[in-house]
Amino acid sequence: MRNKTNKISELPEGVKASGALFLATILTTGIAYITTPVFTRLLSPNDFGKVSLFIAYQMTFGILAMFCLSYGVFNNGMLDFQGDRDGYSFSMLILSNGITILFSALVIPFLPAIKRFTGFDIPLLLLMVGIFLLQPAYNFWTARQRYELKYKVSAVFMILCAILSPVVSILCIIYLTGNPLYARLFGAQVPLLILYLGFYLLLAIRAKGKVQTRYWKYAIGFNLPLLPHYLSTYMLNSSDKIMISYLINDSSTAYYSVAYAVASLVLLIWTAANSSLLPFTYEHCKAKDYLPIAKVTNKVLSVFFVGCIFIIFLAPEVIAVMATTEYRQAIYVIPPIVGGVFFQAQYYMYANIIYFYKKPKYLMYVSVTTMLLNVMLNYFYIRRYGYLAAGYTTLACYMFQALFDYFALLKVVKEKIYDMRYLAYLSAAMFVFAIFGNRLYALFVVRYALLAILSIGILVKRKLILDWMFFNKKG
C-alpha cells in the first residue's frame, strides 16, 4: 500500500492533476445519473421535460450572454499575461458581466415573444440571467486552478457542487409543495449562485477591483470568430430538446432527455481515453509521426465501439432503473442516439489535430452547416414522426459532421493519418446497430445471449482493454 502511495506521489503534477480531475468528473457525472431516477419519480414527465428544456436554453443563450470567455481564450491569457493573472481573471469576469447586461437589454423588447416560445415566465428567465452573471466567476476560478495544476481544491468544489445542487433540489420538491418546477430549478441553482458569489468576491479582492480594458480587446478579438462554432456545437446538442418541446410537448422532451442521458453514459469511456489521447496526438503531430496515432486510435475507438454496443443492448434495463414505466417507450430512440455519440467521438479525433495546426475555421464551417442541417431535419421529421425521429436526425448529422471534419483534416494536413479502412468498418457496423438495434428489445433471449457473450469477452480481455485505453505499450 505504501509503495503504491509512493508511486502516486512520484507522478508528474500534470498526470496527477489529470487523474484527479478525471476521477472528480466521473464522480460528479455518476451523481447526476444516480439522482436522475429520483427526479423522474418526483416530477411529472411534463415538469421533467421543462427542466431539460431550461438547461438547453441556458446552455444556448449562455454562449451569447457569457461569450465563452472561460474557454480557450482564458487559458491563452493565463500564458500571455502570467504576471497579472489576478487582473486578467477579474477583467474577464467584468467583461462577461457587461456582455450579459447588454444581451439582456437587447432581448427585453422581445420578452413577450421569448416567454411564448420558451414557455418560461419572468422568475425563471431572471434565474437564467443570475446564472449568466455569477457562474463565470466559478468558471474562471476553476479554469485557473486547472491551468496551474491545483487539482485538489478544484476537485473538491466540483464534487461539492455536484452533491449540493441535487440534494437541495430534492428537499425543495419534497417539502415545498406547490410548484415542483420552481422547486427543482431554484432549489438546484440558488445554492450554487451563493457559492458563485463567494468566488466573485474572491476574484475582485485578488485583483483589488482593478479592470484592464486591454484584456477585453484581446479576448473579444480571440473569441468573436469562434462564437459561431461554439453556438452551433451547443445548438447541435440542444436543438433536439427545444424543437421537440415546441413541435410536440414537454413530456416528449422528458422521454427524449432521459434516453439521451442513457446513451451519453458511453461518453465516460471516451472522456477517459481522450484525456490521454489528446496530449499523445499533439506529441506525435509535433514530430510529424502519424503512424502511432492511427494505431492507438484504432484501439481506443474499438473499446468505445464495444461500450456503445453494450449500452444499446442494456437500454431497457437502464431505462427501467432511471425512470418510471411512462418512459419505457424512450428505449427505442437510444440506439440511434448512441450511434450519433459514436460519430461525435470521431469529430474529436479529427478536431484534435486540426486544433493543433491552429485551423479552427474549418471546424466552424462544418459545425455551423451541421447545426443548420439538424434544425431542418428536426423540423420536418419531428412533426411527422414524433420525438423518435430526433434520434435518427442526430445520427445523420453527426455522421455528416464526422465525414466533413475528415475532409477538413485532409485539407489541413494533406497526409493520411488515420486507418480509414478500419474506421469505415467500425462505422458501418455501428450504423447497423444504430438502425436495427432496437429490434433486439423484443427478442429477450437473443439479446441476453449476446450480452452474456459480450460481458464474458470484456471480462476475459479486461487487461488488454485497459492497455488499449491508456496506451500501455504491452497492449
Give pLDDT tens digits for 391-439.
Answer: 999 999 999 999 999 999 999 888 888 999 999 999 999 999 999 999 9
Q: What is the DSSP letter of 415?
A: S
Same-domain status, 217 and 272: no
Same-domain status, 215 and 269: no
Q: Which domain holds residue 433?
A: 248-469
Q: How far is CA 403 from the centre of its chain?
A: 21
The three-point CA angle 230-228-260 to 5° equals 45
CB–CB of 249/49 below 8 Å? yes
Closest CA to 159 of 266, 22, 59: 22
CB–CB of 37/322 below 8 Å? yes
Q: Residue 3: inside a domain, yes or no? A: no
| Rounded average pLDDT over 355-367 | 84
Closest CA to 286 of 388, 209, 357, 381: 357
Same-domain status, 169 and 311: no
pLDDT classification of 211: cutoffs 50, 70, 90: very high
Q: Which amino acid is at 221?
A: G
Locate 427 and state its grid cell: 462505422
Q: Residue 243: inside a domain, yes or no? A: no
Same-domain status, 408 and 465: yes
Q: Residue 206: inside a domain, yes or no? A: yes
| Rounded average pLDDT over 336-365 | 88
Q: Residue 455: inside a domain, yes or no? A: yes
Of 225, 256, 275, the one marking the end of a domain is 225
Same-domain status, 157 and 275: no
End-to-end CA distance of the chain: 26
Same-domain status, 65 and 214: yes
Q: Residue 27: inside a domain, yes or no? A: yes
The per-residue pLDDT of the chain, averaged, comes to 89
CB–CB of 76/261 below 8 Å? no
Same-domain status, 333 and 421: yes
Of 192, 225, 258, the one marking the end of a domain is 225
Same-domain status, 339 and 432: yes
How many domains, in total, are found in the chain?
2
Q: How far is CA 379 from CA 51, 369, 384, 394, in A?
A: 22, 16, 9, 13
pLDDT classification of 468: cutoffs 50, 70, 90: low
Dump the DSSP string for 274-339. Answer: HHHHHHHHHHHHHTT--HHHHHHHHHHHHHHHHHHHHHHHHHHHHHHHHS-GGGGGGGGGHHHHHH
The structure's pTM equals 0.87
Same-domain status, 271 and 208: no
Angle between helices 334-356 and 267-286 (to 10 degrees): 20
Of 170, 193, 225, the one marking the end of a domain is 225
CB–CB of 382/248 below 8 Å? yes
Same-domain status, 267 and 183: no
Q: Residue 235: inside a domain, yes or no? A: no
Q: Residue 1: inside a domain, yes or no? A: no
The dihedral built from the CA positions of residue 347, 257, 36 and 168, taken in this order, carries a sign that is positive
- The pLDDT score that the predictor gives to residue 384 is 95
pLDDT at 474 over 70: no
pLDDT at 104 over 70: yes
Q: Residue 151: inside a domain, yes or no? A: yes
Same-domain status, 39 and 137: yes
What is the b/e burial string over 158-196, where b = at least 16 CB atoms within 10 angstroms of the residue's CB? bbebbebbbebbbebbeeeeeebbbbbbbbbbbbbbebb
Same-domain status, 94 and 37: yes
Q: How far is CA 208 from CA 84, 201, 211, 212, in A?
A: 12, 10, 9, 12
